[in-house]
Amino acid sequence: MDIDSPMGMTQMTGTERTGATILCCNCGSPIDGTTSAGAMCYDCIKLTVDISKGIPREGNLQFCKDCDRWLMPPASWVTAAPESRELLSICLKRLRNLSKVRIIDARFVWTEPHSRRIKVKITIQDTVADGVLMQQSFEVVYVIGTQQCKDCAKSYTANVWRATVQVRQKVTHKRTFLLLEQLILKHNAHRDTINIKEEKGGIDFFFAHRNQAQSFLSFLKSVVPVHVKESRHLISQDTHTGDKSYKFSYSVELVPICRDDLVALPLKLAKSIGSISPLVICHRVGTSINLLDPTTLETADVSSDVYWRAPFSPLAGTPELVEFIVMDIAPTGIRKGKWGLSEIQVARESDLGKNDKVYFTRTHIGNLLHPGDSVLGYMITGTNFNSENLDAIEQSRAYGSTIPDVILVKKHYPNRRKNRKRNWKLKRMAKDEGELLPKTADQERMDAEYEAFLRDVEEDEELRAALALYKSTKKTKPDADAMSIAETEMTSMDDGPKINMDELLDDFDELDIQDN
């Protein structure tokens, strides 16, 4: 029996499998049959399938002309600049069914500003039949309508504010308010105010919400000693739910003691704060009242709580300062910080040429004075003070014999020009004066107080460090009369201190296109 010999297995070789090519059922173009959707090409799918179906092509936007804000439904108002990201976000959120697709791109299309129309071109992407991704672009036109927001509508009624802070100080000048104004501007503490109104004896700050007023109160307590009283006024009440709407008023009283004031302390208080001499001067007002004994260089602090438990008034203020001329000075060698204790002989400037009366005293600014200089101080001898504290000091055995004839406060520059041109300036806070328009005499007094405050800023380096001083960019024309005066005479007429340009800030609010 023949046995068939085994046959060799031949390896089958073939070509790679390729997708079937079919024709588009609509236009007849050849397409890949394995990846085609509905036997149609991509161009025919774009013509027959609309992935933006259900997305409106028109919309409405509400704009408040009073505050330049846009309505974000349902009830919020958002500030947005033209063609900004914020405005584009508002436009996209106003479209229905846009969350069902994927947004690839969105941009503004230019329109006439007066057309009250906004065009947005949106590119979306979605999956159609059999996993085919499709991308489509379309434009949406928004019609801008005007609507008044609730805040602006409330501004035309009596209920425009919810909380007010009434700052008052029982003094005849506004030096403390000038300092407080600069501190508010430096820290931008008035950013939430809706109105600032100047009243008799102080300033009122109005806020739209109570928490904003409380934040402003916290700032005031951190810079000056204050005493706060709160009151509320019922506006409306819902009888069904019991909800009530209030207006809150905060009465803030500043301490009546200012910088460079002469103070007669109660004997009990002077003993409790370190047994300091009860006749002192106030050299600084911060979170507490900083007192200085100019005859011994001893210092003490009176906190806000301690002061308001037993308040006292200053014995004399800066309007009562008298000009003296230094006749002789002898340093004692005792120094404490920026002060140097010296024994000094002074004569009243108004007595020169009339009598030879000279007063002996001690001063804390002996390191700044030389014979012939002018200095301001308080005349104690021969002056009648209506103060129970001073009467108690004069009758006491410990302090009755230590009262000096003169208490010197600060150096004076009599040759300083009144309207000197400064290379620096301070910003002022915009206030509503209302019906309290100053008279001519009051305006002159206010200008004099502001000039005195500017001089204090020039003379005190610590005060300048707490404020924001800006470079003055105002260009003044030279005066013909001023040009005719000799330069040597002009130099001798202005001997006041000057501020270094390195301490000044650039005022970017006044920069324009032409500035370099």
* Spatial distance between the Cα atoms of 54 and 51, rounded to a whole number of angstroms: 9
Estimate the crossing angle of helix 175-187 against helix 440-459, to 10 degrees: 60
* Spatial distance between the Cα atoms of 224 and 205, rounded to a whole number of angstroms: 16
Neighbours of 293 (CB within 10 A): 20
Residue 508 token pair: 């970017």
pLDDT at 269: 92
**Mean pLDDT by groups of 10 residues along the chain of 516 residues:** 47 53 76 67 75 88 90 88 91 88 91 90 83 84 91 73 91 84 90 86 89 94 92 86 88 91 92 90 90 92 91 89 92 90 92 86 91 92 88 89 90 74 81 64 80 84 82 60 44 60 64 40
pLDDT at 1: 43
pLDDT at 12: 46
Looking at residue 502, the DSSP 8-state letter turns out to be: G
Phi and psi of 253, rounded to 5°? -110, 125
Nearest 5°: the CA angle 110, 112, 113 is 105
pLDDT at 434: 60
Residue 182 token pair: 């600069």
* Spatial distance between the Cα atoms of 303 and 516, rounded to a whole number of angstroms: 48
pLDDT at 435: 57
Residue 144's DSSP bridge partners are 61
CA distances from 201 to 100, 190, 225, 281 (A): 63, 19, 17, 24
Residues contacting 188, CB < 8 A, separation 6+: none
* Spatial distance between the Cα atoms of 262 and 281, rounded to a whole number of angstroms: 5
For residue 54, is it left (φ>0), alpha (ψ between -120 and 50) or beta?
Answer: left
Contact, 121 vs 109, CB < 8 A?
A: yes
Q: Which of 153, 152, 154, 143 is nearest to 62 (CA)?
A: 143
Task: Indicate whether this model's pTM tops 0.75.
Answer: no
pLDDT at 325: 93
The 3-state secondary structure of 55-86, one letter per residue: CCCEEEEEEECCCCEEEECCCEEEECCCCCHH
Looking at residue 294, the DSSP 8-state letter turns out to be: T
Residue 441 token pair: 């005499």
Query: Whose structure tokens read 């650039």?
Result: 506
Looking at residue 372, the DSSP 8-state letter turns out to be: T
Contact, 184 vs 191, CB < 8 A?
A: no
Query: Whose structure tokens read 């000096």?
Result: 404
Q: Is 479 exposed, middle or buried (CB count within 10 Å of its CB: 0-12, 13-18, 19+)?
A: exposed
* Spatial distance between the Cα atoms of 58 and 145, rounded to a whole number of angstroms: 13
Contact, 77 vs 71, CB < 8 A?
A: yes
pLDDT at 475: 57
Cα dihedral 142, 146, 152, 156, rounded to 10, equals -170
Q: Strand, helix or coil at 152?
A: helix
pLDDT at 100: 87
pLDDT at 37: 60
Contact, 413 vs 495, CB < 8 A?
A: yes
Nearest 5°: the CA angle 165, 171, 175 is 80
Q: How does pLDDT run across 378-395, given as a tens digit for each residue?
A: 999 888 888 898 999 999
- Helix ranges (H only) for 322-412 are 388-395
